[in-house]
Structure 1
Amino acid sequence: MTTDRINKRMKVYATEGWQDTGYRIGAQNAPKVILRAEGEWCTRTDDRKFGRRDANGRTPNSGATYLHKVSGDKAYPYHGHDALMGQLVGRFGETGEPFLIGNQKSFRVDGMPKDVTLWLCCNDPIDSARRDNDGALEVTLELDDARDVFAPRSQHFDRPSGRWVDD
Structure 2
Amino acid sequence: MAKKWEYEVRADLEWQKTDIHQTGEESTGLSVRASGTWQHDPEWEAVGPDGNIPGKEGLYFRHLATAGKSEFLHSGSDGYVGSLIGKWGENGAPFKIGKHRIFTDGTSADTSLKLYLAMNDKKSGDERADNSGVMHVVAYFYDRSSPEPRWSYDRFSGTWSTSTS
Kept after mapping to 2: 8 A contact 1:30/1:143: no
In the TM superposition, 1:14-163 aligns within 5 A as 14-26=11-23, 31-45=28-42, 47-49=43-45, 52-62=46-56, 65=59, 67=61, 68-111=64-107, 112-127=109-124, 128-147=126-145
TM-score, length-scaled by structure 1: 0.76
SS where residue 122 of structure 2 aligns? coil
SS where residue 132 of structure 1 aligns? coil
Percent identity between the aligned chains?
25
Where structure 2 has 5 or more consecutive residues not aligned to the other structure, the ranges are 148-165
Partner of 1:156: none
Kept after mapping to 1: 8 A contact 2:36/2:134: yes
Kindly tell me: are residues 11 and 103 of structure 1, through their superposed partners in 2, closer, same or farther at Cα, counting changes over 3 Å? Answer: same
Shift of 1:107: 1.1
Moved over 6 A (4+): none
Shift of 1:131: 0.8
Structure 2 CA distance, aligned partners of 1:29 and 1:42?
Answer: 38
Shift of 1:101: 0.6
Kept after mapping to 1: 8 A contact 2:24/2:105: no
Where structure 1 has 5 or more consecutive residues not aligned to the other structure, the ranges are 150-167
Could you give the per-residue CA deviations for residues 14-68 of structure 1, whole angstroms, max 9, x where no partner exists?
A: 10000101223237795210111000000001x033xx21110101135984631
Q: Which amino acid is the alignment partner of residue 31 of structure 1?
A: T
Larger radius of gyration: 1
Kindly tell me: are residues 30 and 12 of structure 1, through their superposed partners in 2, closer, same or farther at Cα, counting changes over 3 Å? Answer: farther
